[in-house]
């Protein structure tokens, strides 16, 4: 697996972004004039207290939401200008998501869960199977391919989630509290895996976490509080 972006500039450029949610007559300002650049191949940790806007920022970078103001560019593409099918196709090509609660389909085996993003591509069944085998091998779960989520440990389920995220060889890996539902041992194994994807496979990773132990694995940590970024933790 390899990074598909060859730009000399930053892979991710968040430029003067604001995000406002509307609740009845109330405007809730989550992000305020926020700018962030993430170079290709970086492992970035994004920390902040609950409600600080970490997941909102991750969703904007992943094209799951759009900014109220400002722009988000990934690989030079202004994803705020994409809509509908074009945006879905962009996400399928360029972004792998890893969630805190795994989000696996309980009625599907590990290998069929990993295959799900490939169903949006034009790959043949044989080609999809090859990609799935590769992704499961990367996360060390080839021997559990036929198992259902209920028969897997939490750490194994998260490995399946990571395999699903990387099966399309995405440009960017976005992880939202990937160790938040795991004990320390299983969490450390997941962090080892993410570090390996970054260092050995060149994956650009942005990880939201509240855990300093997890953020210490990243090459850089930035802190988000009250819609603003800082290099220092919130006080």
Q: Distance between alpha carbon 208 and the CA centroid of its chain, in Å?
A: 9
Q: What is the pLDDT of residues 108-130, one digit of tens each?
A: 999 999 999 999 888 999 999 99
Kindly state the average pLDDT of the residues 42-56: 91
CB atoms inside a 10 Å sphere around CB 178: 27
In three-state secondary structure terms, 153 is coil
Tens-digit pLDDT profile for residues 149-177: 999 999 999 999 999 999 999 999 999 99
- Contact criterion met (CB below 8 Å) for 173 and 205: yes
- What share of the chain has pLDDT > 70, as a percent? 95
Helix axes 125-138, 154-166, angle to 10 degrees: 130
Q: b/e map of 185-195 (b: 16 or more CB within 10 Å)?
A: ebbbbbbebbe
- For residue range 53-104, list pLDDT tens digits in order: 899 999 999 999 999 999 999 999 999 888 788 998 899 889 999 999 999 9
Is 39-64+85-230 CATH 3.40.50.12160?
no
Find the mean pLDDT for residues 35-56.
93
């Amino acid at each position: 697996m390899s990074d598909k972006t060859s730009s000399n500039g930053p892979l991710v450029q968040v430029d003067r972004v604001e995000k406002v949610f509307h609740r009845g007559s109330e405007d809730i300002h989550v992000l305020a004039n926020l700018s962030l650049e993430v170079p290709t191949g970086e492992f970035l940790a994004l920390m902040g207290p609950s409600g600080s806007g970490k997941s909102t920022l991750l969703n904007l970078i992943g094209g799951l939401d759009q900014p109220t103001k400002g722009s988000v560019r990934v690989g030079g593409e202004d994803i705020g200008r994409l809509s509908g099918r074009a945006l879905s196709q962009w996400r399928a090509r360029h972004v792998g998501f890893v969630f805190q609660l795994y989000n696996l389909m309980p009625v599907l085996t590990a290998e069929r869960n990993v295959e799900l993003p490939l169903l949006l591509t034009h790959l043949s069944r044989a080609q999809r199977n090859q990609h799935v085998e590769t992704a499961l091998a990367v996360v060390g779960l080839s021997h559990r391919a036929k198992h259902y989520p209920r028969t897997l440990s939490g750490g194994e389920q998260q490995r399946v989630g990571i395999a699903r995220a990387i099966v399309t060889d995405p440009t960017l890996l976005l992880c939202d509290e990937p160790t938040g539902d795991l004990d320390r041992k299983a969490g450390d194994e997941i962090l080892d895996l993410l570090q390996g994807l970054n260092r050995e496979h060149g994956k650009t990773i942005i990880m939201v976490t509240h855990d300093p132990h997890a953020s210490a694995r990243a090459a850089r940590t930035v802190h988000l509080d009250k819609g603003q970024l800082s290099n220092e933790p919130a006080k």
